[in-house]
Amino acid sequence: MKCILLAAGYATRLYPLTKDKPKSLLEVSGKTILQHILDKVEVIEGINDVYIVTNDRFYNQFNDWVNQYPTNKVVKVINDGTTTNDNRLGAIADIQYVVDKESIEEDVLVLAGDNLFDFDLRDFVNFYKDVNNDCISVLEVSNVEDLKRTGVVEIDENGIAIGFEEKPQEPKSNLAVPPFYLYTKDTVNRIKEYLNEGNNPDAPGNFVPWLIGKKDVYAYKLQGKRYDIGTLESYEKVQDIFK
């Protein structure tokens, strides 16, 4: 299994903090966001290679950071060649870019490079192995306004996704879908099909409704909390939580 960390965005909502620094390299409680995430990936035995996909603007900063990060895995920074928010590829296109560049022919764990969380990813991986199918992660959210700002999934009695909507005005469940996905080798090979059909290449959640129309996708209920760092306010809030 490989791991792809999505870190090619320009985080314009966090300016001026991210004008000259990638969001993933901002610090929370004395460690970069990237280190918080990689420390969680480090303990997953089945993953040997981690790819951090970023843009040309921040490529050198990521490389410098990775070169000093102590790890038993191979951590490689991939430059997607984009230079501004206007010419970015989008998260799904970035996944395909890494798959093509590195000739990946394995299952893939996909993670956003700007989400902090307190749960163990090994539980997610073990669930994936048990069901032997694509998996998305879900969190129960009680606040309807929060649900309106994220992807929301409906599942059946077997835990299989049967409906998904990005930022719904009227959420049909209380299950939010954070950006943690486990895809089989077969599904990784179908991302190109999704893109070739002209579908949205941006937010990774856009791939989910297309996929659940093609095959079974299981939902794993995360036991813990996650924090999406998208604005100055959310960054300040996370700083307080992690103190």
Domains of the chain (ranges; CATH) run 2-241 (3.90.550.10)
In 3D space, the residue among 130, 71, 85, 108 whose CA is nearest the CA of residue 186 turns out to be: 108
pTM: 0.94
State how far the alpha carbon of 28 is from the alpha carbons of 40, 123, 235, in Å: 15, 24, 8
Residue 166 pLDDT? 87
Instruction: State the pairing for strand pair 27-28/31-32.
Output: antiparallel
- Report how far residue 150's alpha carbon sits from residue 174's, in angstroms, rounded to the nearest whole number: 11
Any idea how long the chain is?
243
Tell me if 45 sits within 8 A of 37, measured CB to CB: no
pLDDT tens for each residue of 108-148: 999 999 999 989 999 999 999 999 999 999 999 988 988 99
Residue 29: left if φ>0, alpha if ψ -120 to 50, beta else—which one? left
Own/partner pairs, 143-148, CB within 8 angstroms, 24+ separation: 144/171, 146/176, 147/171, 147/174, 147/176
Phi, psi of 216 (to 5 degrees): -70, 130
Distance (Å, rounded) from C-alpha 28 to C-alpha 15? Answer: 17
**Spatial separation of the C-alpha atoms in residues 186 and 200, rounded to whole Å:** 20
pLDDT tens-digit map of 178-200 = 999 999 999 999 999 999 999 99
Are 110 and 121 a contacting pair, CB within 8 Å?
A: no
46 to each of 15, 59, 122, 157, 218, how far by Cα in Å? Answer: 37, 27, 10, 29, 20
Encoded amino acid at 167, one letter: K
pLDDT value at residue 207? 95
CA distances (Å), origin 136, targets 45, 180, 220, 236 = 20, 6, 6, 28
* Residue ranges in the chain modelled with pLDDT below 70: none
CA 13 to chain centre: 18
Cβ contacts of 202 within 8 Å, gap of 6 or more: 90, 91, 92
Q: Please give the torsion angle defined by the CA atoms of residues 214, 210, 184 and 129, in that order, rounded to the nearest 10 degrees.
A: -80
The DSSP bridge partners found for residue 181 are 110, 136
Tokens of 160: 């299989």
Supply the Cα-derived Rg of the chain in whole angstroms.
Answer: 17
